[in-house]
Amino acid sequence: MVLCAVRRHLLRNSSNGGVWVRLLQRQSSGCVYSSIHGFNQEEITEKLQAFAGGSIDLHKQESGIAVLTVNNPSRMNAFSGSMMVDLEEKVSQLENWTDGKGLIVQGAAGTFCSGSDLNAVRAISNPQDGMKMCMFMQNTLTRLLRLPLISVALVEGRALGGGAELTTACDFRLMASGSVIQFVHKYMGLVPGWGGAARLVRIVGSQNSLKLLGGALKVDPDFGLQIGLADGVLTAPQVKEEAGILLQQAENWLSHYTKGPAPVIQAVKQVVLSGKELPLAEAMRTEKDVFGTVWGGPANLQALAKNSKHK
Ligand SMILES: CCC(=O)SCCNC(=O)CCNC(=O)[C@H](O)C(C)(C)COP(=O)(O)OP(=O)(O)OC[C@H]1O[C@@H](n2cnc3c(N)ncnc32)[C@H](O)[C@@H]1OP(=O)(O)O
């Protein structure tokens, strides 16, 4: 539905150089829930803000790769309510980053994320509030996955519960040696609610998903590679002083896919996303429209002028 709107939008503007800016703006409405589903963004934002602590830090780099850090180390990077609101704001900023090409999502201080802050969970343990929080996070994580950036979750330490769900809102997952992704929801008397189950099925299939959720299995890097949850394994540094090495390794890995001009990389993400999310005919039409944004564009004309050979 959203990409259909994007496609119509592109059609109206395909001869215009500002098309990508408008495409990005349009994507910010790429939510699953709106007022017609009884979702009231202001109301839940206010409620979440009451559970403070930690932050989501965004660092945009010259390379076109941004780093988003889940930062609440004293609680193993658990998501407080204010961090959920913070994440939504950072996703909005990324939607408007016209020079962006890639994104790395990591946790602070050597671990990824231990899910919802259990203190907040206890305070809003009624189903109504739970579902409002769930709609808020589904909207945000859907927008994160739909960013016109190639995204990677860099998993170090543990990704538990909502933290495991967050990894599925990225295009790829890189696991550091010794790391674990675990959908521990069953142990909490829950199922995923941040869209993690729906995305997991699309990544590892329904058989593997049933095993991971039903057994709350610990996914280490080898198991992650075997079932397709992990896309690569990185060697975790032995000493604290070398902590930045892992991020560097992840940037090197990602740069293989983000090398090139931003409009082309963003177009790559867009055609793959529409192929994944839309029925075939609509995906084809979207692909044609996105193609129209790069055909005859600066990168295309430069390549033609160079008479490129691809040996
Ligand atoms: C969307 C649904 C969800 O996400 S439900 C939440 C799912 N997550 C969990 O249940 C994680 C529960 N926590 C744990 O299993 C352990 O704390 C893990 C992460 C394995 C770390 O163990 P360990 O290395 O022994 O450290 P620890 O337990 O002493 O933790 C350090 C401090 O962090 C805190 N912490 C940890 N996780 C959370 C959390 N999700 N919410 C709130 N606080 C959390 C611990 O309570 C502990 O705090 P303190 O030092 O005792 O004050």
Cα(75) to centroid(ligand 1), Å: 6
23 band by pLDDT with thresholds 50, 70 and 90 = very low
Say which DSSP state 113 is in.
Answer: B
Q: How far is the CA of 301 from the centre of ligand 1 (A)?
A: 53
Q: Ligand 1 centroid vs 76 CA: distance in angstroms?
A: 6
Residue nearest to atom 15 of ligand 1 (CA): 114
Say which residue the tokens 């909490």 belong to. Answer: 188
Q: How many residues does the chain have?
A: 311
Dihedral of the CA atoms 42, 48, 54, 59 (nearest 10)?
-30
Q: How far is the CA of 110 from the centre of ligand 1 (A)?
A: 14
Residue 75 CB–ligand 1 contact under 6 Å: yes
Query: Is 76 near ligand 1, meaning CB less than 6 Å away?
Result: yes
Atom of ligand 1 nearest to the CA of 116: 4
Residue 45 burial (C-beta neighbours within 10 Å; 0-12, 13-18, 19+)? middle
Asked whether 118 lines ligand 1 (CB < 6 A), one says yes
In the reported structure, the alpha carbon of residue 114 is separated from the centroid of ligand 1 by a whole-number distance in angstroms of 6
Cα 107 to averaged position of ligand 1 atoms, centre (Å):
14
pLDDT at 241: 72
116 Cβ below 6 A of ligand 1: yes
C-alpha of residue 72 to centroid of ligand 1, in Å? 11
pLDDT band at 29 (very low <50, low <70, confident <90, very high): low
Helices and strands (H and E) in the chain: how many: 13, 9
- Averaged over 172-177, what is the pLDDT? 98
Whether the per-residue pLDDT at 175 is higher than 70: the answer is yes
- List phi, psi (to 5°) of 182: -145, 120
Structure confidence at residue 222 (pLDDT): 98
Average pLDDT, the chain: 91
Residue 30 pLDDT class (50, 70, 90 cuts): confident
Query: What's the confidence (pLDDT) of residue 242?
Result: 80
Task: Please work out whether the CB of residue 138 comes within 6 Å of at least one atom of ligand 1.
Answer: no
The 10s digit of each residue's pLDDT in 235-262 is 988 887 787 999 999 999 999 999 999 9
Give 273-309 pLDDT, tens digit per residue: 999 999 999 999 999 999 999 999 999 999 999 988 9
Burial 155-174 (b: 16+ CB within 10 A, else e): bbbbbbbbbbbbbbbbbbbb
Residue 63's pLDDT is 98
Closest ligand 1 atom to the C-alpha of 115? 4
- The structure's pTM equals 0.93
Residue 127: closest CA among 189, 79, 186, 85: 189
CA dihedral 156, 158, 161, 167 (to 10 degrees): 10
Average pLDDT, integer, range 178-203: 98
Q: Is residue 5 predicted with pLDDT exceeding 70?
A: no
pLDDT confidence bin for 53, thresholds 50/70/90 = very high
Site to probe by mutation for ligand 1, drawn from 48, 51, 75, 76 as the one with most ligand atoms within 8 Å of Cβ, is 76
What ipTM was assigned to the predicted interfaces of this complex?
Answer: 0.99
Among protein residues, the one whose CA lies closest to atom 39 of ligand 1? 117
**Cα dihedral across residues 80, 161, 230, 32: positive or negative:** negative
Alpha helices in 75-229 (DSSP H): 81-95, 118-123, 127-145, 162-167, 196-214, 221-227
pLDDT reported for residue 302? 95
Q: What is the mean pLDDT of residues 175-195?
A: 98
**% of the chain with per-residue pLDDT over 90:** 84
Question: What ligand 1 atom has the least distance to the C-alpha of 184?
Answer: 7
Give the highest mean pLDDT range of 7-21, 71-85, 116-130.
71-85
